[in-house]
Structure 1
Amino acid sequence: MEVLDQVRAAVLGHFGVESADAASVTFLGLEPIDILRIPDGEFVHYSTLGGSRHPMTDPAAALADPVRGPRAELVLTLRGGAGAGSGLTRTLGVLVAAPAVEGVVLQADALLDLGEPIWANAPFTAVLLGDSEIPEVVLPDPADPVRFLTVAPITATEAAWVRIRGAAALRDAWQEAGIDVRDPARPAASL
C-alpha cells in the first residue's frame, strides 16, 4: 500500500467513514494535493492528502533524504463548515505545500502567516498548527511516520500574540475566553 493510500485509510477510519469528497490543487512543479472534505454532524473536517508523499527537509541540510525525515498532513475542523467560503481548499494546499516550496518543516505550535484571508472575507490570515487526535501512520523502516497536525485559523492580532508570547499563551487565552477555534464566525481573543 502506498503512503497516500495508508494516510487516506487512516483519516477515513478515524472519522468512521468509507469515502470523502475530494478537491485537488496543483502548483507548478509539485504533485497534486487532495483536500478531503468529511461532514461529521455539526462539523466538517478538511484533511490534506499529499503533503506526506515526501519527507520534509531542513532547509539548512546539504542534501534532502528521499526516505528519512518528518512527514505531515493537515486537518482543519470547522463547525458547520458553511462559514468557510471559497479559497479554503487552495489555502490548505498552500499550507501543506510549504515544506516543498519554502523549506518549512510543519510541526505542532508552528505559526504560518499567509498575509491574506484564509478563505474569502475571513478575518483569519494565519494558522497555528497543533497535535491531532488522529494516530500517526507508521511507514516501513527507515521512513518516519506520518503525523497529522490540526489547523487553527487565527487573526493577525492573534498571530502577533503567538510571536510575542508563544502558542501556549494564545491557547490559554482561548480557553479563558471560552473561544471555540472550530467556529468560523468566532471572535478574536481579547489579548
Structure 2
Amino acid sequence: MDVVNSVRTAVLDHYGVERAQVDSASVTFLGLEPIEILRIPGEDAIHYATLGGSRHPMGDPADLLADPVRGPRAELVLTLLAGAGPQAGVARTLGVLVATPSVEGVVLQADALLDLGEPLWHNAGFTAVLLGESDITEVALPEPADPVRYLSVTPITATEAAWVRVRGAQALRDAWSEAGIDVRDPARGAVNL
C-alpha cells in the first residue's frame, strides 16, 4: 500500500494544484523514514503539508505489539498568509511535529497542544501549536487500515499555550474569534486573555 502517494494526490487535488507547482523539502530523523513537507501556493495563503507521518498507524507506546495496519493515521497542514514571505525553519518544525508519534508515542488529534519550547521558525513569537480539524478530506486506505486525516496546525504563543492548559482549546479559539485575530498571520501577537 503506497500511503504517501495516495495522500500526496489527495492534498494536491484539494488545493487544485499540479505537482510541478509545489516546492518540497525533506526532513529526516535517525531511525525514521524521510518526511516530506510540501509548500503549496494559494491565492492569499501558503499551505505547508506533511507527507510521511501517516506511513504507519499511531498507537500506544505501552502496547507490547504495535498493529502495523490498524490505528489512526495523521498528517499536518499549516496555513500562513501569503504576503509574509518564507518562514525559515517551518519544514523542520513540521517534520518534528509529525514525527512525534514515532519518537514520543503521542497520538496526533484535534485539540492537542504540542509545545516545542523554542521558536517554531526563525524569529517566530510562537513556541507551540494547537491542532484542529482541517477541511482536507480524509484519505481512504485499503481495508482494514484506518483513513489518513489531515490536522490543521495553528501556531500559538507561550501565553496562549498556558490558556489552553487551563481553559481548553475551544476557549482560545473563542478568544481569537472575539478579538478578530487571523491565526494565519505569522506576525500576529498573542490574543489578550
Confirm or deny a common fold (TM above 0.5): yes
Distance 1:83 1:36 in 2: 16
Distance 1:94 1:119 in 2: 12
**In the alignment, what sits opposite 1:183?**
185
Cα offset, 1:186, TM superposition? 1.1
Distance 1:36 1:87 in 2: 13
RMSD value, Cα: 1.0
Cα offset, 1:60, TM superposition? 2.8
- Structure 1 length-normalised TM: 0.97
Residue 132 of structure 2 corresponds to residue 130 of structure 1: yes
Segments of 4+ moved more than 4 angstroms? none
Aligned length: 191
**In the alignment, what sits opposite 1:162?**
164
**In the alignment, what sits opposite 1:172?**
174
Distance 1:81 1:139 in 2: 36
Give 2:101's aligned amino acid: P
**Residue 71 (structure 1) aligned to one of 63, 70, 73:** 73
**In the alignment, what sits opposite 2:4?**
4
Give 2:181's aligned amino acid: I
**In the alignment, what sits opposite 2:17?**
17
Distance 1:164 1:84, change over 3 A: farther
- Unmatched 5+ stretches in structure 2: none
Distance 1:81 1:117 in 2: 20
Cα offset, 1:37, TM superposition? 0.3
Cα offset, 1:80, TM superposition? 1.6
**In the alignment, what sits opposite 1:117?**
119
Instruction: Output one character per residue of 1:74-100: Cα deviation in whole Å (capped at 9) or x when no partner.
Output: 000000263552111100000000000
**In the alignment, what sits opposite 1:153?**
155
Q: Is the 8 A contact 1:83 1:184 kept in 2?
A: no
Distance 1:84 1:119, change over 3 A: farther
